[in-house]
Structure 1
Amino acid sequence: MKFCHFVNKLVASVGGVILVLYESSQFYENYIPKYNDHKYIMDNSYIPFSTFFILSLSFMFLNIFSPSKNSIANSFKGLLGCFLITCSMFYFINQVFICSEYANEESSKLRFSVYFCVFLFLYMFSLCIESYQNFSFTISRNERKEPGTMKVEV
């Protein structure tokens, strides 16, 4: 169980940075004039790339450096995770659309696009698990603080 939790935390933390590095590698290729050949993941008008970049880096740093006993940090990590889930859902839907266009064109890039779509799905799923764990840990810590009986000696 500890190993699965470690892998989930690693994918949730580093997955956004991997997507940012992939996007940075695609900038140069998009300046090469080829007609409708280079479609890429962050070509989404709903969520700007800079917003995803800032959210993913702050989520990674919070996951690495914040203690798990701090309820405010856990709540903030859960909130950032929810925003990243929304961003990755839009990017996943965009990538599924790109995969369907590659399938209609019978392009050679279909295999890479499907792998990327699977990675986005796993990233979104690990973010869901991580956000659930952050929110449930915060709730369980607050539920333990119920007042009980006190023993007073006179």
Structure 2
Amino acid sequence: MKFCHFVNKFVASVGGVILVLYEFSQFYENYIPKYNDHVYIMDNSYIPFSTFFILSLSYMFLNIFSPSKNSISNSFKGLLGCFLITCSMFYFMNQVIICSEYAKAESTKLRFSVYFCVFLFLYMFSLCIESYKNFSFTTSKYERKEPGTMKVEV
């Protein structure tokens, strides 16, 4: 179970940064005029790219450097995770539309677009799991103190 938790935390932390790096690698194609050929996931008019960039970097650094026992940082990570879930949901829906356009046109880019759609879904799902863990206030059985007698020395 610890390995699955590590993989989930890694995908939730680094997945947004991987999406940002992918978008930076695709910027050079903006100068080539293309008509009716959507390549980017971040050309979404609902959420600006800079917002996603700032949210994903702050979530990654907060997830790496904040202690897990601090309830304020856990709540803030959960709130940032909810914002990132919303952003990734919009990007996922945009990527599904791009996949459907590629499928209608029978493009060669369909395979890569489907892989990217699967990555976005896994990223969104791991963010949901991490936000649920950050918002849950239950303590595990290892963190609980065992009930017993209390010694008072006078």
TM-score, L = length of structure 1: 0.89
Distance 1:146 1:73, change over 3 A: farther
Residues matched between the structures, number: 154
Does the Cα contact within 8 Å between 1:103 and 1:110 map onto a contact in 2? yes
Does the Cα contact within 8 Å between 2:41 and 2:95 map onto a contact in 1? yes
Instruction: Report how far residue 11 of structure 1 moved.
Output: 0.1
Instruction: Report how far residue 29 of structure 1 moved.
Output: 1.2
The one-character-per-residue Cα deviations of 1:101-120 (angstroms, maximum 9, x if unpaired) are 00000000000000000000
1:109-124 equivalent positions in 2, closer than 5 A: 109-124=109-124
Does the Cα contact within 8 Å between 1:14 and 1:60 map onto a contact in 2? yes
Instruction: Give the SS at the match of 1:147.
Output: coil
Instruction: Report how far residue 27 of structure 1 moved.
Output: 0.8
Distance 1:66 1:42, change over 3 A: same
Instruction: Report how far residue 54 of structure 1 moved.
Output: 0.3
Distance 1:24 1:138, change over 3 A: farther
Alpha-carbon distance in structure 2 between the residues aligned to 1:16 and 1:148: 46
Alpha-carbon distance in structure 1 between the residues aligned to 2:68 and 2:136: 12
Partner of 2:89: 89
Distance 1:29 1:138, change over 3 A: farther
Instruction: Report how far residue 140 of structure 1 moved.
Output: 7.8
Alpha-carbon distance in structure 1 between the residues aligned to 2:4 and 2:128: 14
Does the Cα contact within 8 Å between 1:74 and 1:138 map onto a contact in 2? no
Q: CA RMSD in A?
A: 2.8
**Greater shift in the superposed pair: 142-151 or 100-109:** 142-151
Alpha-carbon distance in structure 2 between the residues aligned to 1:21 and 1:79: 23
Distance 1:142 1:136, change over 3 A: farther
Gaps of 5+ in 1: none
Instruction: Report how far residue 138 of structure 1 moved.
Output: 6.5
**Greater shift in the superposed pair: 32-41 or 114-123:** 32-41
Does the Cα contact within 8 Å between 2:38 and 2:98 map onto a contact in 1? no
Distance 1:2 1:122, change over 3 A: same
Alpha-carbon distance in structure 2 between the residues aligned to 1:77 and 1:108: 39
